[in-house]
Amino acid sequence: MKKLIAIDLDGTALNTQSKLSDRTTQTLKRAMQAGHAVSIVTGRPYRMSQQFYQQLGLHTPMVNFNGALVHIPEQKWAGETETPISRDLVFDILGQKENLRLDFVAAENKETFYIDSMDWFDPNFFAAPATPANLLTTTNMTTNPTSMMVRTSNEFASDVSRELMKQYGDYVDVRTWGGPISILEIVAKGIQKARGLDQVARYLEIGQKDIIAFGDEHNDEEMLAYAGWGVAMQNATDPIKKVANDVTEKTNAEDGLAAYLENYLDLA
């Protein structure tokens, strides 16, 4: 039976160097050769995940910004959806940057990004160079963005998330990326990976029971619960392990996703 394999990136398909290992790459390609479909479902924007889409040779719809953008890269697709947040909300949060103990505030859409200060700008992290046009100002960002991203220290992440939800919870949801850096992503209320994955599955005409999804963090919870078979990584948080149908024996640093799929789909 054809399966849809939904893969989170950070902490799941990617190793601790934020790369797809050769084993994971080849295992996913073997799965596709066996007739299964693979879709990336990530909190990352497209420009920070397109290299993995290309590395795997995918042609399926991709979910970015935790579901706020569903698209087929480099194609005009009638089913593409992009759900924005309010531009005014972004600048309201930016005004609280010091009180919230944020390192930087960034806003993004499918095509570009804006960041409030170049002091924290890393071209490798943003997967693009920056110019003065990328500064987060009312002059530069004139439309509603798809997502907002803030960075804080690990020790403050939970407090920041709670405070943002307290103030703006009627309009947005706050998700954590996972991985070594404390990144909180802010998307429109009701946006979640499960919603994006459902859109992908319907397009590919694959039933919910035939979806196997892998994840490790808070933003994967609904996706793992929605999938016919949800798999938490060995390095996943306890709440994610509780909602999953199974847990990999190995971590993302040990090619846990690849090892699991080799056995589950008899690919070895």
Question: Looking at this protein, which amino acid is placed at residue 167?
Answer: Q
Catalytic residues: 8
- How many CB atoms are closer than 10 A to CB 65? 31
Cβ neighbours around 23 below 10 Å, total: 15
Widest Cα–Cα separation across the chain: 55
Rounded CA separation 36/195 (Å): 21
The angle at the Cα of 255, spanning 233 to 202, to the nearest 5 degrees, equals 60
Q: How far is CA 145 from the centre of its chain?
A: 16
Distance of alpha carbon 78 from alpha carbon 4, whole angstroms: 21
Taking alpha carbons only, the member of 134, 89, 131, 132 closest to residue 108 is: 134
* β 4-7/37-40 pair status: parallel
Residue 26 in tokens = 């080849």
